[in-house]
């Protein structure tokens, strides 16, 4: 555990963000409710806090995803709900070939690729997540490995997918360079990530670790300019960028469910994820000499 923070401060932050964004256009009842809830949290006169207001622990990626693996697919996620339609539409553009699901987790995108006819390889650093993925997509191939050092041959992949994982790297350059390395000339990359807006505002995504303890794995803010610089340095051409916004879903069992009006007002219209589509330029055509 490197850092910790408390649920009460998280809830106060959401209330304050809701006020900051809607102070000029909300009705008086909304504003009064926010200030009353803030007063109750500050004075301790409100109801019990989620998780008793205990500290939220920071876990490294190995420990965090080991803890999260068993329940990862069972919890609704607004991030996944707004991301998947965009990513899957990009997958559908084909042509079908050999695909890599980098940082595949429980095989969410591996399954989507396999269903579309791709010969799919999933790579992840977490044995626990890979075990879930193997059960979900038994016909796919899976390998342990890291985004910064993929166990994949050079120029062997037609489509590389990486979903909601680059945010855990302090710098996206190494991960994007690896995706470019394994991609064949003319191949495509679909990269989704948590949007820097929501990370900057929310800080971290909290999940339930073990039976009842809240925890998080560190997310880093990567502004669009950093992605663009990394794509350019890796010799990739960006074709599209999508930014689907908050859909109203609050994480079940989380602290935001205790203050739903404030939470929905805080995130209204905020992009939750960013989805990039990029290509590796095809090898130049050479005329045969006569």
CA distance 252 to 64: 18
Q: In this predicted structure, what is the pLDDT of residue 71?
A: 66
Pairing status of strand 157-163 against strand 141-144: unpaired
| Parent domain of 232 | 51-254+273-279
Residue with tokens 């989507």: 112
CA-closest candidate to residue 267, choices 283, 249, 254, 288: 249
Residue 143 lies in a domain: yes
Q: Which residues contact 68 (CB under 8 A, 6 or more apart)?
A: 207, 209
CB 188 within 8 A of CB 210: no
Residue 67 lies in a domain: yes
Residues of the chain whose pLDDT is less than 50? 1-4, 290
Residue 7 lies in a domain: no
Residue 207 lies in a domain: yes
**CA distances in angstroms from 65 to 96, 130, 131, 132, 210, listed in the order given:** 30, 10, 12, 11, 11
Other beta carbons less than 10 A from residue 135's beta carbon: 10
Name 101's bridge partners: 122, 161
Pairing status of strand 183-194 against strand 157-163: parallel
Question: CA gyration radius for the chain?
Answer: 21
**What's the CA angle centered on 118, arms 105 and 108, to 5 degrees?**
20
Residue 169 lies in a domain: yes
CA distance 11 to 103: 31
Residue with tokens 């990029």: 278
**What CATH number has the domain bearing residue 134?**
3.40.50.150
Residue 21 lies in a domain: no
CA 84 and chain centroid, separation: 11
Residue 267 lies in a domain: no
CA distance 31 to 152: 54
Beta strands in 28-146 (DSSP E): 55-59, 98-102, 119-124, 141-144
Residue with tokens 């879930």: 132
pTM above 0.75, yes or no: yes
Q: In this predicted structure, what is the pLDDT of residue 154?
A: 98
Tally the domains of the chain.
1
Q: In terms of C-beta density within 10 A (0-12 exposed, 13-18 middle, 19 or more buried), how is residue 131 classed?
A: middle
Length of the chain: 290
CB 239 within 8 A of CB 277: yes
Q: In this predicted structure, what is the pLDDT of residue 218?
A: 80
Q: In this predicted structure, what is the pLDDT of residue 3?
A: 45
Residue 46 lies in a domain: no
CA distance 251 to 202: 13
């Amino acid at each position: 555990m490197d850092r910790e923070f408390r649920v009460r401060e998280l809830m106060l932050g959401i209330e304050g963000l809701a006020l900051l964004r809607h102070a000029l256009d909300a009705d008086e009842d909304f504003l009064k409710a926010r200030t009353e809830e803030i007063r109750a949290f500050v004075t301790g006169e409100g109801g019990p806090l989620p998780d008793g207001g205990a500290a939220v622990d920071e876990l490294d990626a190995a420990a965090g995803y080991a803890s999260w693996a068993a329940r990862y697919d069972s919890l609704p996620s607004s991030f996944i709900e707004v991301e998947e339609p965009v990513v899957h539409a990009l997958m559908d553009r084909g042509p079908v070939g050999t695909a890599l699901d980098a940082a595949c987790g429980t095989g969410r995108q591996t399954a989507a690729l396999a269903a579309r006819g791709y010969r799919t390889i999933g790579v992840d650093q977490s044995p626990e997540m890979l075990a879930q993925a193997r059960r979900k997509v038994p016909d796919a191939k899976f390998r342990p490995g890291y985004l910064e050092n993929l166990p994949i041959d050079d120029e062997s992949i037609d489509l590389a997918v990486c979903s909601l994982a680059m945010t855990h790297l302090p710098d996206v350059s190494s991960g994007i360079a690896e995706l470019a390395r394994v991609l064949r000339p003319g191949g495509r990359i679909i990269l989704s990530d948590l949007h820097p807006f929501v990370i900057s505002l929310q800080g971290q995504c909290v999940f339930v670790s073990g039976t009842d303890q809240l925890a998080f794995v560190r997310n880093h803010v990567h502004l669009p300019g950093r992605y663009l610089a990394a794509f350019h340095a890796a010799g990739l051409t960006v074709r599209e960028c999508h930014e689907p916004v908050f859909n109203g879903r609050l994480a079940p069992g989380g602290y935001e469910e205790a203050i739903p009006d404030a939470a929905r007002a805080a995130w209204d219209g905020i992009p939750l994820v960013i989805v990039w589509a990029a290509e590796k330029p095809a090898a130049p055509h050479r005329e045969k000499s006569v």
